[in-house]
Structure 1
Amino acid sequence: MPAILEDPSTRNPLPKAHTDAAPTLTARKTTLPKFSSAPMTLYPITGGPQTVPKDLIKFLHEEFSAEILRGGTYPMMEPMALDQFADYWFGTFAVVAILDDEGEGLREGRDWKSICMGTFYTKPNYPGRCSHVCNGGFLTTTAARGKGVGQAMGEAYLDFAPRLGYTYSVFNLVFANNPASIRIWEKLGFSVIGRVPKAARLANSEELVDALIFGRELGN
């Protein structure tokens, strides 16, 4: 369930509040009622891709590339290279959600295909004087679909983003034929603040699809 707008090769500078707060954030624990109440830990990534296990980045790159090629949620036509994905996704602030009942954390060599449930990033939606408005991009892994992971990551986003100093969130491209994403954001208090008619040529639609713009104040 994407929300991206910006060119993946560019990055808006982080506001000072984000830079100051990111190192203080700690992991968030939750459970997945739709997955036998399995314990899940959401680990914040604040030090860039070099702090993430390489095999985990490789796994998530494969998942993200497959999502792009399916052509129904993200606007990109072609997958990114591995290094570009690592910097794009983990270069500002990101979270990785894993089943972690043994508390082994993010270490090289784990069975990511079985335990990694998803990931999201948070970054400024605009530069400079508007950088207190953020967006996020979300990816639920193939094995985790339909288990409530998307909502759990959305709840974590609403927890972390205001603590990073953001006061408002905008999701720029939520496609109108993606009811699962729409349900999650509406349930979490977002509302449609705009619509771009016929914005997307998607693989899962013969017709051009509208893009919804969702927004919500943070910290309330």
Structure 2
Amino acid sequence: MPALLEDPTTHIPPPPLPPNTPPLSSLTPIPKLLRDGTKITLYPITTGPSTLPHSLTTYLHEQFSLEIEKGCTYPMESPMEYDLYRNYWFGTFAVIAVVDEVQVGGGKDNKEEGGGGNDGLREGRNWEEACLGTFYVKPNYPGRCSHVCNAGFFTTPAARNRGVGRVMGEAYLEVAPKLGYKYSVFNLVFENNVASVKIWEKLGFQIIGRVPGAARLANSPDLVDALIIGRSLV
């Protein structure tokens, strides 16, 4: 579920938080239940990629590269280098969705039941089974317009047909206002990505614009329109 590809080498500072707002480090993991009954936790990443297991960021980089190479959802024509990807995706704010450990491999060394601590992101997990997807949240514009955000999403093979996209969308609507954002806009939701469009419409987003023939996609012989989708966060 792509949103916008800005210049991956440019960092736009997020909006200032209102007075007396708790620090981002106080954001706690979000427990959720998938439609098949699987318990998962969505972990906020507030301190950059260096705090994440190398094996996890490597796996996510591989999966994101495959998504780009498919040529159907993101506008890039070639994958990013690893270091560029990890700073682009995790350098401002991101969330990673993983299956609670008690449901993977019997959970003998499990230290969490979901929603507390960051044990679910420990090194040594089988990310092909445990990691379901990730999304980032960033300003869509700089300076005095930085309270308008965008986000980028992708899911892994372990998430297929389990409703993970909808769950991550719900989590996005929970955390984005806590980051100081007032409005969300997605600039490049390709019209033929029907599943993504349906998720956002069910979550209260509206189509506020259209860019005709915006994309040359691998799954269409014709140019595909890009929808601009927005929603208030307050």
Considering the TM-score relative to the shorter chain, is it more than 0.5? yes
**Residue 14 of structure 1: how far off its partner (Å):** 1.9
> Aligned letter for 1:75?
P
**Residue 20 of structure 1: how far off its partner (Å):** 6.3
Q: How does 1:71-110 map to 2 (within 5 A)?
A: 71-102=71-102, 103=112, 104-110=119-125
Task: State the secondary structure of the residue aligned to 1:95.
Answer: strand
The 8 Å contact of residues 95 and 121 in structure 1, kept in 2 or not, is answered as yes
Give the equivalent residue in structure 1 for 2:107: none
Q: Mark the runs of 5 or more structure 2 residues left unpaired by the alignment.
A: 103-111, 113-118
Please, what TM-score do these two structures have when normalized by structure 1? 0.96
Q: 1:199 aligns with which of 192, 199, 214?
A: 214
Question: Where in structure 1 do 4 or more consecutive aligned residues deviate above 2 Å?
Answer: 18-21, 101-104
Same amino acid, percent of matched pairs:
63
Please, what TM-score do these two structures have when normalized by structure 2? 0.90
1:128 corresponds to 2:178: no
The 8 Å contact of residues 22 and 93 in structure 1, kept in 2 or not, is answered as no
> Cα deviations across residues 128-179 of structure 1 (Å, max 9, x unaligned)?
0000000000011012121100000000000000011100000010000000
**Are residues 155 and 107 of structure 1, via their aligned partners in 2, closer, same or farther at CA, if it must alter by over 3 Å?**
same
Q: CA RMSD in A?
A: 1.3
Give the equivalent residue in structure 2 for 1:61: 61
Q: 1:26 aligns with which of 25, 28, 40?
A: 28
Q: How does 1:35-46 map to 2 (within 5 A)?
A: 35=36, 37-46=37-46
Separation in structure 2 between the aligned mates of residue 143 and residue 117 of structure 1, nearest angstrom: 6
Separation in structure 1 between the aligned mates of residue 78 and residue 188 of structure 2, nearest angstrom: 17
> Aligned letter for 1:30?
K
Task: State the secondary structure of the residue aligned to 1:181.
Answer: helix
Q: Mark the runs of 5 or more structure 1 residues left unpaired by the alignment.
A: none
Deviates more, 1:179-188 or 1:92-101: 92-101
The 8 Å contact of residues 101 and 120 in structure 2, kept in 1 or not, is answered as no
Give the equivalent residue in structure 1 for 2:159: 144
Give the equivalent residue in structure 1 for 2:4: 4
The 8 Å contact of residues 199 and 211 in structure 1, kept in 2 or not, is answered as yes
Separation in structure 2 between the aligned mates of residue 101 and residue 62 of structure 1, nearest angstrom: 22
Give the equivalent residue in structure 1 for 2:115: none
> Aligned letter for 1:40?
I
- Aligned pairs, number: 217
